[in-house]
Structure 1
Amino acid sequence: MALFGLGKKQKKGEEVQGKESPSAVKVLGSGCASCNQLEANTKQALAELSMDGSIEHVTDFVKIAGYGVMTTPALVVDEVVVSSGKVLSKDEVVVLLKKARGLA
């Protein structure tokens, strides 16, 4: 039964009614130097790939734990954790973004 949208499976890329569209790329972390470095490297990678440069930086530990991440910084692409516990270089982020978007 899909009363009020409950029980209805969401298709990939489909927005949930009443909620904002999630940012495609997120950095999870407290805002420490490592987290900020991962965010900077990710912005450089997005620019290199000519992708939208908006990144959401999630600092709420309850939300971070909701992704199953226990060590930060972590990188999330299209709601999938692609890395955690490591500051990725720009080139490493480029590879992960290409793989996540089916460009590799």
Structure 2
Amino acid sequence: MGLFGKKKESAPCCCSASPAAQAAPVSGTAPSGSVKVEILGSGCAKCNQLEANTRATLAQLGMEAQVGHVTDFAQIAAYGVMSTPALAIDGKVVSAGRVLTTAEAAELLQKAK
């Protein structure tokens, strides 16, 4: 109650934690020696195209990766993403707001190796 000089005591909010701590993994952790790739988006055509390009790039590079698709907007927001589609590698957002070509995705995935 804010009247008469009394301040309302507030409990700590669950949203004060870091976005990485709040985001739940899609399906566990990646096996050792592989990367964890997540496509962040609602499942629209652009998100699906980014996923297809990323999978094709992984196949070309011969990389072992766990690929997931996060469609829950609360989890996407926890990553700090404001526009989709977005690509996260090992929990870090490396691209947002556009569909990457296979060459662009290859460059980002090789850096994560």
TM-score (norm 1): 0.75
Distance 2:94 2:110 in 1: 12
Q: 1:14 maps to what in 2?
A: none
Q: CA deviation at 1:69?
A: 0.2
SS in 1 for 2:88: strand
After TM superposition, give the deviation of residue 52 of structure 1 in Å. Answer: 1.9
The 3-state SS of whatever aligns with 2:95 is: strand
Deviation at 1:21? 1.4
- Contact 2:36–2:65 (Cα < 8 Å) also in 1: no
Q: 1:67 aligns with which of 61, 79, 86?
A: 79
Q: Which amino acid aligns with 1:95?
A: E
Instruction: Please give the residue correspondences for 1:8-27 in structure 2 after superposition, counting only pairs within 5 Å.
Output: 20-21=28-29, 24-27=36-39
What is the aligned length? Answer: 83
Deviation at 1:20, TM superposition (A): 2.6
Q: Larger Cα Rg: Structure 1 or Structure 2?
A: 2
**Matching residue within 70, 94, 101 for 1:89:** 101
* Partners of 1:27 and 1:74 within 8 A in 2: yes
Q: Deviations over 1:32-86 (max 9, x none)?
A: 0000000000000100111125310000000000000000000000111000001
Quick one: distance in 1 between partners of 2:29 and 2:54?
20
Q: 1:58 aligns with which of 62, 70, 80?
A: 70
The aligned residue for residue 16 of structure 1 is: none
Letter in 2 for 1:57: H
Runs of 4+ in 1 over 3 A off after TM superposition: none
Give the TM-score normalised by the residue count of structure 2: 0.69
C-alpha RMSD over aligned residues: 1.6
Give ranges in structure 1 of 5+ residues lacking alignment. Answer: 1-18
User: For the Cα contact (< 8 Å) 1:25–1:77, is it kept in 2?
Assistant: yes
